[in-house]
A and B are shown apart, each in its own frame.
Chain A
Amino acid sequence: MATTTATITIASTDLLSDELALTSTATLTLAGNSTGVTQASGLSRKTIVGDPAKPQIVYRAGDYTAGGANKVYIKNTSTTAAEYFTVQIDQEVIGRLYAGDWMFMPWIATSGTKETFVVTATLGSGAVAIGDSWDFDGVTTVSADATLNNFSAAINAKTYPNWTTTVSGAAVTFTARYAGAAGVVTAEDAITGDTLVDLAGSNLTMPITSGAVGTRSESDISMLPSVVTAMTYETMLIHE
């Protein structure tokens, strides 16, 4: 079992009448047991040229286990007093990390739900024509033969920037990579943003046979730089 520890030392010789020397070490475990945490994002360092009006997401809740014993470490590496990051969780401001400051906090990682829908290749008559195509999320799939299920399999084999897929027969299930109301599924039987090309008049359609609108994440961690010039931060996530 891996052992991960976090030690803090807070010290001052002149804040109080007596010396302050506080030290605490936590061995980081999974929620509710003594098993050591098993995953970490590793230490990362990023320089951003910020827009002080636009928070940048550091960690998306949907990528991690909710309700666990996750821990987040963030450091502002700046040495300029006026440069700080405003750290937020969802819409709530936690505080400002001034030059050289660091923070270490638990993270609930409560996500929303991912939008999902099933699109089923359907023929009104005849067969799929070689060259029929369907475009969605900027990715175009072109039928290579006249077999309907092969067309669906080809759709599933593509890599979509904002969706993951699975296939069963002619039905392809799309699931958003991130939680949120992406606006693609407008009802259980409606989808926006796709384009169908039916070359040979086979009446090929790609109806949505089921779907569910997503809900936004509720605890993404984001940071807002105080200045537009380059600022650098370091982060690490230890999670379940």
Chain B
Amino acid sequence: MATTTAAVTLTSDLLSDNMSVSASTTCMKAGTTADGLDQMEYVLVEIPTGDEYDLIATTPTASKGSKLYVKNHSTDETYYIAITQNSQAIGRLYAGDWMFIPADFHDAAGDIAITSVGGTNKIEYALFHEGTVLKATD
């Protein structure tokens, strides 16, 4: 079994007391505590301004324990990528921001899509999953 851990630490002096929140999880297959996610894809890509693109080209198995990490490597603070899923706006990743979410991919419409705004954004993403449906050769 592969063991992949994802840890987050949030710190801030925004509040009266300093805040430090930490969490760590071992990325498991759905519904298990002993069988880790054992497949991944890892991509760095530049996305030009304008069109919306599906971030994940293949379709991971739906309703599983997939985890998606996305980072916007842009340095211009006005640049961002708009994240949508099935046409539902989720949020914006501004320059330097990252996200880590469970990815359901409930059907073909459940793809994660991104639109680059402001200029060309360099995007890094990693998908940890337990199987994909590969697209047949055209």
Choose among A2, A14, A37, A92 the residue that contacts B85 (Cβ–Cβ < 8 A). A92
Contacts of A161 in B (CB 8 A): none
Tell me whether A95 and B71 are in contact (CB under 8 A): no
Q: How far is the CB of B125 from chain A (nearest CB, A)?
A: 11
Contacts of A81 in B (CB 8 A): 28, 31-33
Tell me whether B8 and A8 are in contact (CB under 8 A): yes
B123 within 8 Å of A (CB atoms): no
Tell me whether A15 and B38 are in contact (CB under 8 A): yes
Q: Which bracket fits the contact residues of B?
A: 35 or more
Q: Which bracket fits the contact residues of A?
A: 35 or more
Given the interface pairs A6-B10, A81-B33, the reply to whether A20 lies near B4 with Cβ below 8 Å is yes
Choose among B31, B85, B92 the residue that contacts A98 (Cβ–Cβ < 8 A). B31
Encode A24-45 as 1/0 by CB contact (under 8 A) with B. Answer: 1011110111101111101100
Tell me whether A94 and B8 are in contact (CB under 8 A): no
Contacts of B110 in A (CB 8 A): 93
Tell me whether A33 and B77 are in contact (CB under 8 A): yes
B108 within 8 Å of A (CB atoms): no
Main secondary structure of the interface of A (DSSP, over half): strand
Tell me whether A95 and B101 are in contact (CB under 8 A): yes
B14 within 8 Å of A (CB atoms): yes
Tell me whether A94 and B99 are in contact (CB under 8 A): no
How far, in angstroms, from A162 to B86 measured CA to CA in the complex? Answer: 32
Of all chain B residues, the one with the shortest Cβ separation from A70 is B91
Q: How far is the CB of A238 from chain B (nearest CB, A)?
A: 8
Tell me whether A14 and B14 are in contact (CB under 8 A): no
Tell me whether A73 and B8 are in contact (CB under 8 A): yes
Given A26-B97, A69-B97, 19 extra CB contacts under 8 A: A3-B13, A10-B4, A12-B3, A31-B94, A32-B80, A33-B77, A38-B14, A40-B12, A70-B91, A79-B33, A87-B102, A96-B30, A98-B65, A101-B25, A104-B8, A106-B91, A108-B90, A236-B10, A238-B14
Give residues in A with beta carbon < 8 Å to B. Answer: 2-16, 20, 22, 24, 26-29, 31-34, 36-40, 42-43, 67-71, 73, 75, 79, 81-82, 84, 86-87, 89-108, 110, 218-219, 236, 238
Give residues in B with beta carbon < 8 Å to A. Answer: 2-15, 19, 21, 23, 25-26, 28, 30-33, 36-38, 40, 63, 65-67, 69, 71, 77-78, 80, 83, 85-86, 88-94, 96-104, 106, 110, 126
